[in-house]
Amino acid sequence: MNWYEQAVSRKAAMLHDLKGLLGIPSIFDPDTAAPGQPMGAGIAEALRYMLDLCKAEGFRVCNHDGFVGYAEYGPVDAEHYIAVLSHLDVVPISGEWVTPPFEPAVRDGRIYSRGAIDDKGPAMASFYALKIVKELGLPLKHRIRLIFGTDEERTHRCMEKYKELEPMPACGFTPDAEFPIVCAEKGQINTRIMFPSGHPETGTKGDFELISFHSGVVANMVPEAAEAVVVGDPERLKDMEHEYLAYCNEMQLQGKVERSDQSLVLHMAGKAAHGMEPQLGINAGLALIHFLKDLAWNGSAGHFLSTVDTLLYNDVYGQALGIAMEDDISGPLTVNSGLLQYEPQGETFFHINLRFPICGSYDELLKKISSKIAAYHLVMEPPSLKKPHYVPEGHPMIRALQETYLAETGQAAELLSTGGGTYAAHFPMGVAFGPLFPGMESTAHQSNEYIEIELLLRATAIYARAVSKLGNLEL
């Protein structure tokens, strides 16, 4: 069986269906949340679109009140099912785009759109993989279930709902990371570190007043933009402007200034990256804070700026927080601060999106963080926690996926780990399997996100072979 030829023969139809899915703005929208669409209208539309495709193909479909849906193919009375999990929600739009993010555009062999690689393209590849198996009439011992989540980029409420209502699969994979096989996922801690009002330094006198500071749009992205609004004496503001531009030039950063008689708005541009790999980005908020921290400030601004700089600047591995660690399976702990805010009359905080190796314990990490921030008079909000996840090398599914990858690529399937939090961790025997090949650029969560059309076809071929093989696995 030439699985790649089967995928290529369906290229036009696949691209047509994918463009339709990519055109739906499936960003979490609480303003349009309602019964049947708990994540908002756009995400509900994307789920209906995908389930309608599956129903038209003859798959058995189910929509659990808009939280999560699935499509199933294989013997109705089969005891076990194999899960293929993807998500239809996407992160908010940020940065400059060549073409509108929800008007998919094909350029140079790529489809550009928000969600192209994370995770609508892979979701469509998994659908066409099962479609190939069905249209070829290949036998299956187990049911194959395509599960479509709606809240992967936020709280995974969709998977919690799924686990309440459905039995667990025998095993499964998610096409939401990279090839060959990601069998280990780091644990996560997500929380806001708050600066209480009425801090002892609130009455500090200085040359400038920080009216506001904002950076970031979501916690799991390295922020690519930051803004600080400053007021003060006009002459001192002129000095600040010159110093800021000199700082940006020295540090090879992209900054600009809007100036009026008694205020400055300082803008900083960074480089976006996924929160699991903060070392690949440039945190615009921290870069701007590093400049501001040494100036003389009225009120509590100096405490905010110096504290954030001390605990986070140029330190994605948690050394300043006293939590650095790593292991051979899943690598080092990383810290991303995707949201930073200073509002004298509102909330002042920084958010940490922390990813720790499987050797770590979030109980111990929380103790260390709490002890560290207490010295700065800070308070941690109740955190969102995710345990590390690991599937051992000897599991039959691992062997089957290794054989599949070798057969389709000619390359041995090395076992990997990730700092990302995928749906695989919700099931005891879940792994991430593609779609990116080793060395390929990931534009997930970035402006001008894309998927290569050739990658889409190759992934579809791999998933079709994998579905056929797992569907007949001896469990």
Q: Sign of the C-alpha dihedral, residues 37, 116, 420, 400?
A: positive
Which one is catalytic: 89, 176, 178, 277? 89
89 is known as an active-site residue: yes
- Radius of gyration, alpha carbons of the chain: 24
Cα separation, 387 vs 22, in Å, equals 31
DSSP 181-204: EEEEE-EEEEEEEE--TT-GGGG-
Cα 47 to chain centroid distance, Å, stands at 19
DSSP 27: B
Task: Write the CA distances from 445 to 223, 269, 271, integer angstroms.
Answer: 11, 16, 11
Identify the active-site residue in 17, 72, 151, 152: 152
How distant, in Å, are the alpha carbons of 7, 67, 126, 172, 428 from that of 432?
21, 22, 13, 9, 13
Exposure letters 247-259 (e unless 16+ CB within 10 A, then b): bbeeeebebebee
Burial of 47 (0-12, 13-18, 19+ CB in 10 A): buried
Instruction: Evaluate whether 71 touches 134 at the Cβ level (below 8 Å).
Output: no
DSSP structural state of residue 383: P
Q: Alpha helix (H) ranges present in 323-387? A: 362-374
Looking at residue 171, its amino acid is C
Distance CA 121, CA 105 (A): 13
Q: Cα(403)–Cα(397) distance, rounded to whole angstroms?
A: 10
Q: How many Cα neighbours within 13 Å face the side chain of 407?
A: 17
Torsion of CA 147, 148, 150, 151, to 10 degrees: 50
Whether 65 sits among the annotated catalytic residues: the reply is no
Backbone angles phi, psi at 62, to 5 degrees: -145, 135
Instruction: Give the bridge partners for 83, in sequence order.
Output: 145, 172
Using CA atoms, how far apart are residues 237 and 162, in angstroms rounded to an integer?
55
Q: Tokens 């002890």 appear where?
A: 371
Q: What is the pairing mode between strands 181-185 and 415-418? A: parallel
Per DSSP bridges, beta strands 254-259 and 208-215 are unpaired
Could you give the CA distance from residue 148 to residue 85 in angstroms, rounded to a whole number?
6
Provide the annotated active-site residues: 89, 152
